[in-house]
Amino acid sequence: MGDAVLWSGGSDSTLVLAQRAKHSSRDNPVLAISVKHQELGNDKWVMEQKARKKLLEVFKKRGYYVKHYIIEVRAYESGNPKNWLFSRRGESLYQPAWWLCYFVDFLKDGDKLHLGYHLSDGFWVLNQHYIDTFQSACKLMGKKCELHFPLKIWTKQKIIRELKKEKLFNLCWTCERPQQGKPCERCEPCNDLRITLGEIKREDRLLKAKGKN
Ligand SMILES: [Zn+2]
């Protein structure tokens, strides 16, 4: 029975991986699985790979045992991407279903797959369908695996605070459309991050003013 984490190198999945990796050992490493898919765009993939490389070095220095695997998906959806299923925040809603099924091959009977979906993710719109699809795929493969969502009731603010505490925040990559190796500051994840960092700043200032910090 082992731990596996779906890992992009972004803030949510990196926090989940760090949390699981703390319990890892040479005999019981954490499996970190990344998916390379055309939907990600090559620039984003390159930046995520750089982030993951740095993070893996840090994890190693901290004595964590992480085995990293990449699943490369060469599927090409037909039709207009605008007609794909999206959440209100613009996340692809069909993506979790096929991501989960690709992992089944990597998992052993009894493994636990941890995912970094948090409170405001679109995942929860269809979560029961994703979970059922995953469980059916496991059943077909003759495996019993568990899905875990450790950030289910976490806000983005809490995630960022925790990553900062763990000294991992600056190593993560979240931007969808990198511009010459720098975040674009315009895409949805960049906007989210800017808003969250602003909220954290404001909250800290208030706490300080109240003398609680
Ligand atoms: Zn961006």
pLDDT above 70 (res 24): yes
- Asked if residue 178 is part of any domain, the answer here is no
Task: Please state whether beta strands 66-73 and 30-37 pair in parallel, antiparallel, or not at all (unpaired).
Answer: parallel
- Asked if residue 57 is part of any domain, the answer here is yes
Ligand 1 centroid distance, CA of 47 (Å): 11
Ligand 1 centroid distance, CA of 194 (Å): 10
- Asked if residue 64 is part of any domain, the answer here is yes
- Asked if residue 129 is part of any domain, the answer here is yes
Q: Which domain holds residue 82?
A: 3-155
- Asked if residue 185 is part of any domain, the answer here is no
Count of domains forming the chain? 1
Ligand 1 centroid distance, CA of 37 (Å): 18
Give the residue among 133, 11, 17 at the shortest CA–CA distance from 68: 17
> What are the tens digits of pLDDT across the range 99-155?
787 888 889 999 999 999 999 888 888 889 889 999 999 999 999 999 999 999 999
Tell me which residues have their CB within 5 A of the ion that is ligand 1.
Answer: 175, 183-184, 187, 190
CATH of the domain at 136: 3.40.50.620
Ligand 1 centroid distance, CA of 170 (Å): 15
Query: What CA–CA distance (Å, rounded) separates 176 from 88?
Result: 17
